Structure 1
Amino acid sequence: MKIGILPCQGACNVGVMTNKVALNLVDNETVNMVCPLGLPLGIKNIIDMANVNEKHIALNGCPVKCASKALESAGITEYKEITLTSDFDIPKNKNFKDETNIDNVEAKVKDVIDEFLSEQKG
């Protein structure tokens, strides 16, 4: 099974954290990074690469949910959504080095990955 993770990579602490978490979990065999900008721009190769994944995780920083919207713009409507501000009560700010609760975020994403993998086995 291939799982695509799409971090929002927004210009705030929670956006930057989504990218850090995704980078820590990408292994290019099971978990792949999906380009957050290429999907809504309609770049065919990036859309094709995203569609190779059987499951997707939209890793949003805030309630704007750019990662989810990017997936939907490419017709990918079935995905697991995680939003740092609401799911972990992390305040959004402009301190790009703020990693409040990043360990909990990473643990949650790992849980979702494990859930996807166990669905495949079951």
Structure 2
Amino acid sequence: MKKKLISQINNPDAADTITNQHKKFGKTIGVNGCFGSSNIGQMTGFIARKIVSEIPSAFMRCPIGLYPEVEGPSQVMLYDDYQVVIDGCKGKCLGLTCEKAGLSMDLYYTLDDNFSLKKKPGPDFDEQKMNEIADLIIKDIRKMTDA
């Protein structure tokens, strides 16, 4: 996937988002969680939400937008200066999708590998553990970006 000039982006909302966020923050951080159906997949989305609530220049992006024909969201992601990707499990669906789209990942985590979590069916997860992991990732982001 290739980054277009902002003037060539057909989706006006995407062009406005890119322009306004960079005008306000300088550099932006895209934060993506797989939000899968297992406990740890669900946890990734809540970790991403916590990150963006604590770092003003961080924004949750829609990874479905990496599908090439969905121009708007993919272009916004390509304009982020940093990418943080959080997969739930060893399947690494989101990370592999990002790689296939040519999106470079500055920080990449899988909750089972990096944090020794066990994948179980269903949406329930340990909220305290989620907060601890989010705090660790926030520290990594701040080291990387001085955010």
Largest Rg, 1 or 2: 2
Q: Does residue 81 of structure 2 align to residue 87 of structure 1?
A: no
Deviations 1:8-60 (A, max 9, x none): 01110011000011112215841011112221354110111101210101101
Contact between 1:47 and 1:74, CA under 8 Å: does it hold in 2?
Answer: no
Q: 1:42 to 1:95 in 2, by over 3 A?
A: same
User: Whole-Å Cα distance in 1 between the matches of residues 107 and 126 of structure 2?
Assistant: 22
5+ unaligned residues in a row in structure 1: which ranges?
Answer: none
TM-score normalised over the length of structure 1: 0.86
Aligned to 1:9: 35
Aligned length: 119
Aligned to 1:112: 140
Superposition RMSD on alpha carbons, in Å? Answer: 1.9
Q: Does residue 76 of structure 2 align to residue 39 of structure 1?
A: no
Q: Does residue 61 of structure 2 align to residue 61 of structure 1?
A: no
User: Whole-Å Cα distance in 2 between the matches of residues 79 and 69 of structure 1?
Assistant: 14
User: Whole-Å Cα distance in 2 between the matches of residues 16 and 57 of structure 1?
Assistant: 16
Contact between 1:8 and 1:66, CA under 8 Å: does it hold in 2?
Answer: yes
5+ unaligned residues in a row in structure 2: which ranges?
Answer: 1-26
Q: 1:40 to 1:65 in 2, by over 3 A?
A: farther
User: Whole-Å Cα distance in 2 between the matches of residues 111 and 5 of structure 1?
Assistant: 14
**Which is helix-richer, 1 or 2?**
2
